[in-house]
Structure 1
Amino acid sequence: MTAPDLQAYIGIIEQLKTSLNSSNFEQMFSLLTADLPKSKQFILKMELKRIGQRCQFFIDLRGLVDGDVKPYPYQGKTHYMDENAIKVFEQGLEQYGSFTVGLYEEVRNTDNNFRVMHRKDTEKRVREALTRVANGNSELEQSADANELLEQPKIIEFGNYISRRDERMNFSIDVAVQTVSHRFTASTSDLSVSGCKIKVRKQQQAKIGQKITLFFTQLEQEFVLEMSNGVPYTIVDIEQHDQFSYWRMKRQPATDENKFSQFLQNFINGNKRRYKVNLDNVSACLLTKGYEQFYLPKLTTLPIFIAVRDNIATPISVLTTDHNKHCWQYFLDEQHKSVLISIINTKRLKTRIDQKSANSNCILYCFTHAVKGKLFYYSATDEELAQTPELRGVFYGFGSSKPSWRVFHFNFSASSAQFADPGSVLPQADEENTEQVSALVKGFIQDIRFMVSLTDITSSDSTLCYQKYTYQQTQLKLLAQFGHKKRSDIPHCEAVPMHYINLRAESRYLYKTAIEIQQADDMPNLTGFSRDFSAKGMQIETEIPVSFAKGDIILLNLPELQKISQKHQLSALAYEVMAVSKSRTIINLKVAGNDNKHSGQVFFQQLIKNNRSKLTQAQETPRYPGLSAALRNMYLQSQNNLQLFMQRKGIRYEINTVAKGKTAHTLHHIMRFGQAKAQNEPPVIELNNILRNSAASLQFAQQLKQMKRFEQGSEFLLFVSVGHKAKNSSDIECKYSYEFANEKAIQDYVSTSLQHGLLFCYRLCLMRTNRPDIEYFAKELNYISTYAIHKAKLLEEELWSVVGVLDVIDISAEIILRYAVNANPATIAQAKLAFLNS
């Protein structure tokens, strides 16, 4: 396809392409391009040579065009084209003289190609939007309308899967609607066995839950329905659109119900190839699951599931990823036992429950103190420190001076085992083939009542701020009230890895071979064997326990493999320790350094490449199969973070998709600030303020380009200042931490903002996403492909365009405490609550 910068010269290209192989091509080219610069002449000639090259590709338009595709033999090859494409192909052969690259592109860009149709439809909608904007009253209104029409982001609600029992067909017929007071005509928008949606004039009033009777007057003219009393329905939803309302209704039991149900089922089955099947809910589910599997493997928050047994709240499981595992490991003591039961104790849970809020947040401060080989934990919430103001400075000053100092965002929410199984969204789903929660997993999660999410928001800047607090050495003994005693009855807490097909950066293969770990000169090498390997890592098992810790660099010898390889040096290979088992005999390693010249890495890459079919791929063997998926679903139902997704469109990076949980995030409220809350209208959010000064295309995109999929994310702080007189989103000021000269400037801004209104602060963690895990939503994709393959391809293209995710955490409370602003946190919290409810 001719590049956009040459579209202005498409007339010249059309005239010259018929003369590409003629003797007078140079003469004609000079004549037609005489008034063009030499640089443009050169580019045009290169383009003509490109489209004139002979093409060896096969043309296969099956599923890509709106037409009947059939075989078309040409010069010993069989192409698959419809009538439009064949016509273009044969005309092109006359113009070009042979099958060329230009002809191949023309055939694949006919007017009935689904991709072309979609592009033209998008361009048409943009033109219409710009036309409406051009008819505005002022230049300012035009700009605002253009942003609303062209930049309105898509909203994804995680964990929200709209299921339908029956297939719903887009089908419009006349019906009569009978309410309690009067009767009027309407038409159906779609139809299923158990419900339908009708289109009525806006002046017809109704309420959700109201019962009506529907008469299928047009169907009765063609079929004998024997439903003289009509069919009873209940209104379950009402949507307002321009001059019409759409009532979504559920059918109620009636006389001869089975007979009418059978008629509808047969009617839909007989016509669903003629009329379009409504795929809205399946498409929405596919996108929701697609964006979920981008976000969840990058989760920096540690979800902790709390079970209540014998009136005692106990953490029984955590959901781990490569990006939150450090939080889990932080709460493991010297015996590798979890101390979460002490940190998330009954008193703190009761405080959160007494808040009488669906979600309750606070700030949790922690540090550890080692005595005689034992690790003791100290922790306090911002609320607990507010009750003992005389110790707050001591806790901050002493705790922040220790390397173990951590600051966590603590979020509490209700949870339940009923959230573990979201069910199937596919109509007429076969229950036997639907994945369900096993009895083993049900037994494990049945007592879960709450979920606590811990997010590590520690930073070097914040630690320096806390270290400014001074204290007396004599006051340190008073910190004992924040310490947690050693417990001998610590219950087991299961660490469950998040499972997705593409979670790992590379596949691992089972392979056992001798290994040696080099020690100091006066000590013999440690011996053992490998358990599995990948190009960039290895898991090994030693014969005796080791004393290595995460981050140590060891030198590894592979004597058996060295015998079969003369090309690679397989001794003194530098590997970094990533994890050590409780038994201290199993070690996870990765290649030390970031270059690609590591001899072991090059050797294993070659080994995998040449022996992939002979190697056995390692598979995870969970203790409770299916528990990871169950906890994942439970987390999605309870989490209240906000996510912004970055997509790559050519060379541009955009943020046009926002994901949220069941409970609205404070930033979500801010992005809707000042909007009229129209009944039954879909939510509209405004991203312009938080993406000011091209933050997405400059700051975020530049970070993302340098980032690898397996790397930890880059963090940004977003400050949102809302003045007392703010009336809409344009009155809200947003600034990023990189816009301030230093920490003092940030502190002044925080103080000034609180004097003149409210201040919100958010930590944005940017990470590069993995490839789409097609297997995760394969059932939905296959179902959509059955009825509309072009729609399935567009949905797939959208997911493949996602390159990054920004996880948004509200850390407003911590910022106020960090900068020691002279303000009452309780008063600020009440003012924010009033603002968010306004």
Structure 2
Amino acid sequence: MTEQIEKYQYLIETLAPMAHEDDFHELLAEKAKDCSEETRFLLTMEIKRLAQPCIKSIDLRTLVDDECTLRESDGIEHYISDEGFELYQHLMALYKYYAVGVRDGVIGYFSKQRDIALGKTKREKPKHENTAFSHTYISPIEQLLDFPQRQDERVQLEVEIRVFLSASVLICGKTLDISKRGIKARLDDETELTLIKGYRPVQIVFVGLDKETKLQSTAIGYRVAGISKGQSQAEVHFIREWDEGPKLFNNFIESYLAEQKTPKLIDTENTEAAIETKIYEQAFSVNCPSMSLFVNTEKISRPFVQFACVNDINIEILDYWQDENNKSTIGYLFDKERLKRLILESDSDKSIFIYCFSHTSGGKVYFYSATDYELEKNAILKDVFLSYASRKASWRVYKIVCHQLNTNDAHLPSSLPDGASRESSQHNRPMVPKLVSALSPLSHLLTLSDITHIPGQQCYQQRELEKDKIKLLSVFGHAKNRLPAEIETYKFALLDLRRERRYQLRTDVVVKNKSETTHAVTEDVSVQGLKIELDDAIGATKGATVLVSFTRLQERTKDYDLQELPYRVMHVSDDGYILHLQASENDKSNMTKSFFKMLINKNRDKLSVLSSDNATPGLRQALRVLQARFSPQMCVFTSQQKNLHIPIKVATNRPRAAIYSYLYHRMPSEYHNFSRIFDAHYQGKQSIGVLINQARKHHIAQSSEVFIFYDSSKIEIEDAVTVKWEHDVPTHVEKYRFIKNAIANGEFFACKITALETQKPITTLYDDELNYVRRGKPKLGSRLEALAWNFSGQVFLTDITEEALHRYRLFQQ
């Protein structure tokens, strides 16, 4: 790159992935309008150079100290570190193919890092972070419980194929795996993907098969099932009807599958995806601060909320609505008129805000509530209500979002085909008629979020209070003699992550960690592990091996040696006194497992199982699945890297919702960019990180509000998105001015951010699939299991834009 355009490096890296787009020249002309003609020419040449396909490999072995492994992508082998591969994947997502800019971006980043380490260059903070640095805060999107199910097991098969789209249109490729009814393939020329049409019938010739098969020239009928994103390039899925043959091909498939169906060769890609999304769903469901409620519209004229799902976080919403008799009155929020208004407009994710307070008199609790539109209709009392209510300790503000449901999506089959394991056939059965009957009247999901925040409450208190009108607020009161119908509530029980069911058993043990020994008591046990509480902390750390002696149980048996049994530490409480342990894999631990199997089998009727169920079998899980697939709540999962909490995955069912447009500014459809929210900028600290650290320290959710100005016309995200945390605009005057300026010059958004520590995994939702993967790929199984333990926190984003506009009287603007 010449010195003349070196200062435009960020612009070049931003525009290079767009070089083939129709509006590229307009974008370049806009951003380089102040440059000379010669400079614009040089910029164009450099951008086109970076956009060219690349055939050179990446070799980081001389640039980084980390181990570089050989990885193949698009037929090119690279020696690349884990960090380098993460950057490579991000750049590939931007360019969509292996371009010169991908190679230059990876090598250039690590070359600069090496020069900084050697003191060869002065490290200055750039005006804008370039792509190589800012990728840290770009997170892939996860739509919860969205994974493919297979009818048959697949095994690896790589042979050349010819796909005839018609008599005159032929494309070439190579299979990746095969099953009785389908194949997965990769095209030699990815540009030909545009020729592929969903469910289109095609004829496929397996030209790469051995001559002995007599199938090299036989055309087999398939249909296009779809296209998915592979690790390096797109993959095409083809399906066929087994009964349509031909018989020679069917015989070959059966023979090949019988010979090759070993755990190592079975393709588990979809099962791996299922395990991952179930891990994220488990963390989402037990930590979501919003409550899910399900509306019954069997009689459309009389809709009502029938079910509610709560967890340990959002159960505080239920607690608020307990009256003096400990009866839940949360149904007051959902009268018939409010529900009708939500349901009629729910196709666009209609939302309302409800302002509430309570008053206690004579030992009785009286509840009051008003929606935003009810207050607009009663303008005389609007300020009186908001001013008076916000002065009460019981002040609450709720947001309710309504979305239409499809209860058929409540079924969660296994990712494994029937017969692959003992449990898979049971999971794949259709929902039983009793469960279908219980779900069929449900038509809408309500997501109830408590968005109460002290600065907002203080803002409403500034409104004039006409005390002589306070008595008139009785029109917003809920009658004590007309209690709402009780809502059937299901708390998501924290099911066990471990591979066996837990049983409550308290017995004395002795725990040894290196030279330190202490007494302890078990809290619960399973065949695979246990949880214990120590008398004294012994410095055990995650991943270490401790020796456990079951002193009391040893007195009951001479057939088993229960002394100094090795267990791996999976989790340590903050104070070091509670350990989650997993049995190590060796001969002695096998004896432990045998003993506990015997103990549990003989005492099953006496041991308390740590699980629960409900009157309608499967209803709890069905509601949980519906919540995961329809909830509008956004959740960001973080991992701690050095002193920063980095987003690693964002769970959302609305990846392109307008209320989050500032997160996908000029981003590929499968990513969100959190750099403007997660970046460290406040007194040298990461604001998100402060919230997460406080949540982990005090074991309670931490929240803050952020105000956002978004100008979609800008190219760089640093210019397009301006984020102000509540401490950046500490006064209401400053907040008001920021909002007004944002409305005048672009778009305004407000968001409540809630950070929580991730509860330790205790679910068996994917045990069957995890064991299936572990049989053929034990290291991969261990990595998937470890994922559930490695979250540093969860960050929930709730849009409060309309409420903020109402708060500062700017809603009409």
TM range (shorter): 0.5 to 0.7
Given the alignment, which residue of 278, 281, 287 partners 2:267? 278
Equivalent runs, 1:413-452 vs 2, <5 Å: 413-428=403-418, 429=420, 432-434=425-427, 441-452=435-446
Q: Give the secondary-structure state (helix, strand or coil) at the position aligned to 1:375.
A: strand
Read off the aligned partner of 1:177 and give its amino acid letter.
V
State the 1:452 CA deviation: 1.2
Read off the aligned partner of 1:796 and give its amino acid letter.
E
> How many Å separate the matches in 2 of 1:438 and 1:256?
34
For the pair 1:814 / 2:800, whether they are aligned, the reply is no
Hey, what does 1:349 align to over in structure 2?
339
State the 1:778 CA deviation: 1.5
Given the alignment, which residue of 388, 399, 404 partners 1:398? 388
**1:717-763 CA deviation, whole Å, 9 max, x = no partner?**
22221137434533211222233343432233223222222111111
For the pair 1:330 / 2:320, whether they are aligned, the reply is yes
For the pair 1:472 / 2:466, whether they are aligned, the reply is yes
Given the alignment, which residue of 455, 466, 477 partners 1:461? 455
Hey, what does 2:119 align to over in structure 1?
none
- Paired residues of 1:363 and 1:408 also in contact (CA < 8 A): yes
For the pair 1:674 / 2:666, whether they are aligned, the reply is yes
Cα 1:161–1:472 change in 2 (3 A) is: same
Hey, what does 1:256 align to over in structure 2?
245
TM-score, structure 1 normalization: 0.65
State the 1:418 CA deviation: 2.2
Radius of gyration: which is bigger?
A: 1
Q: Give the secondary-structure state (helix, strand or coil) at the position aligned to 1:319.
A: strand
- Paired residues of 2:638 and 2:646 also in contact (CA < 8 A): yes
Q: Give the secondary-structure state (helix, strand or coil) at the position aligned to 1:763.
A: strand
State the 1:304 CA deviation: 1.3
> How many Å separate the matches in 2 of 1:254 and 1:620?
44
For the pair 1:365 / 2:355, whether they are aligned, the reply is yes
- Paired residues of 1:338 and 1:492 also in contact (CA < 8 A): yes
Q: Give the secondary-structure state (helix, strand or coil) at the position aligned to 2:408.
A: helix
Cα 1:239–1:273 change in 2 (3 A) is: same
> How many Å separate the matches in 2 of 1:474 and 1:373?
25
Cα 1:390–1:711 change in 2 (3 A) is: same
Hey, what does 1:378 align to over in structure 2?
368
Hey, what does 1:412 align to over in structure 2?
402
Hey, what does 1:173 align to over in structure 2?
159
- Paired residues of 2:497 and 2:763 also in contact (CA < 8 A): no
- Paired residues of 1:714 and 1:767 also in contact (CA < 8 A): yes
State the 1:713 CA deviation: 0.6
State the 1:404 CA deviation: 2.1
Cα 1:619–1:119 change in 2 (3 A) is: farther
**1:95-153 CA deviation, whole Å, 9 max, x = no partner?**
xxxxxxxxxxxxxx9999xxxx9996525636977852278899989953314666542
Hey, what does 1:202 align to over in structure 2?
190
For the pair 1:493 / 2:471, whether they are aligned, the reply is no
- Paired residues of 2:148 and 2:270 also in contact (CA < 8 A): yes
Hey, what does 2:678 align to over in structure 1?
691
Q: Give the secondary-structure state (helix, strand or coil) at the position aligned to 1:153.
A: strand
> How many Å separate the matches in 1 of 2:320 and 2:441?
26
State the 1:351 CA deviation: 1.6
The gaps in structure 1 that reach 5 residues or longer are 1-108, 512-531, 537-593, 598-611, 829-838
Moved more, 430-439 or 757-766: 430-439
Given the alignment, which residue of 117, 123, 130 partners 1:144? 130
Cα 1:487–1:411 change in 2 (3 A) is: farther
> How many Å separate the matches in 2 of 1:329 and 1:439?
34
Cα 1:648–1:150 change in 2 (3 A) is: closer
User: What value does the CA root-mean-square deviation take over the aligned residues?
Assistant: 4.1
Q: Give the secondary-structure state (helix, strand or coil) at the position aligned to 2:174.
A: strand
- Paired residues of 1:126 and 1:150 also in contact (CA < 8 A): no
Given the alignment, which residue of 277, 291, 306 partners 1:302? 291
For the pair 1:655 / 2:647, whether they are aligned, the reply is yes
State the 1:398 CA deviation: 2.0
Hey, what does 1:246 align to over in structure 2?
235
**1:207-244 CA deviation, whole Å, 9 max, x = no partner?**
223221112223362314599453232342265999x7
The gaps in structure 2 that reach 5 residues or longer are 1-66, 71-76, 92-101, 113-124, 507-523, 525-530, 534-573, 578-598
Hey, what does 2:580 align to over in structure 1?
none
For the pair 1:188 / 2:175, whether they are aligned, the reply is yes
Cα 1:161–1:241 change in 2 (3 A) is: closer
> How many Å separate the matches in 2 of 1:637 and 1:249?
26
**1:525-582 CA deviation, whole Å, 9 max, x = no partner?**
xxxxxxx9x999xxxxxxxxxxxxxxxxxxxxxxxxxxxxxxxxxxxxxxxxxxxxxx
For the pair 1:133 / 2:105, whether they are aligned, the reply is yes
Given the alignment, which residue of 476, 483, 487 partners 1:482? 476
- Paired residues of 2:710 and 2:721 also in contact (CA < 8 A): yes
> How many Å separate the matches in 2 of 1:781 and 1:709?
32
Cα 1:707–1:790 change in 2 (3 A) is: same
**1:170-203 CA deviation, whole Å, 9 max, x = no partner?**
3221122112242533321332222222222235
Read off the aligned partner of 2:739 and give its amino acid letter.
V
**1:297-355 CA deviation, whole Å, 9 max, x = no partner?**
11211111111233321222211111111211222333433334432122222222332
> How many Å separate the matches in 1 of 2:248 and 2:449?
56
> How many Å separate the matches in 1 of 2:451 and 2:750?
12
Q: Give the secondary-structure state (helix, strand or coil) at the position aligned to 2:769.
A: helix
**1:394-435 CA deviation, whole Å, 9 max, x = no partner?**
110122222322100111112243232211111335555428
> How many Å separate the matches in 1 of 2:237 and 2:768?
26
Cα 1:694–1:172 change in 2 (3 A) is: farther
Equivalent runs, 1:194-233 vs 2, <5 Å: 194-200=181-187, 201-204=189-192, 205-219=195-209, 221-224=211-214, 228-233=218-223
**1:612-662 CA deviation, whole Å, 9 max, x = no partner?**
999955745544254322211111121011111121346653222211125
> How many Å separate the matches in 1 of 2:78 and 2:761?
22
State the 1:277 CA deviation: 3.1
Q: Give the secondary-structure state (helix, strand or coil) at the position aligned to 1:693.
A: coil
For the pair 1:721 / 2:709, whether they are aligned, the reply is yes
Cα 1:616–1:134 change in 2 (3 A) is: closer
> How many Å separate the matches in 2 of 1:492 and 1:127?
53
Q: Give the secondary-structure state (helix, strand or coil) at the position aligned to 2:183.
A: strand
> How many Å separate the matches in 2 of 1:473 and 1:805?
43
TM-score, structure 2 normalization: 0.67
Cα 1:722–1:188 change in 2 (3 A) is: same
> How many Å separate the matches in 2 of 1:650 and 1:134?
21
- Identical aligned pairs, as a percentage? 20
Hey, what does 1:293 align to over in structure 2?
282
Moved more, 137-146 or 390-399: 137-146
- Paired residues of 2:329 and 2:486 also in contact (CA < 8 A): no
Q: Give the secondary-structure state (helix, strand or coil) at the position aligned to 2:727.
A: helix
Read off the aligned partner of 1:280 and give its amino acid letter.
E
> How many Å separate the matches in 2 of 1:636 and 1:628?
13
State the 1:365 CA deviation: 1.0
- Paired residues of 2:636 and 2:794 also in contact (CA < 8 A): yes
> How many Å separate the matches in 2 of 1:375 and 1:314?
23
> How many Å separate the matches in 1 of 2:725 and 2:469?
38
> How many Å separate the matches in 2 of 1:323 and 1:767?
9
> How many Å separate the matches in 2 of 1:792 and 1:685?
28
> How many Å separate the matches in 1 of 2:696 and 2:106?
43
- Paired residues of 1:315 and 1:340 also in contact (CA < 8 A): no
Cα 1:702–1:141 change in 2 (3 A) is: closer
> How many Å separate the matches in 2 of 1:140 and 1:207?
46
Equivalent runs, 1:599-638 vs 2, <5 Å: 617=608, 619=610, 621-624=612-615, 626-638=618-630
Given the alignment, which residue of 65, 82, 90 partners 1:122? 82
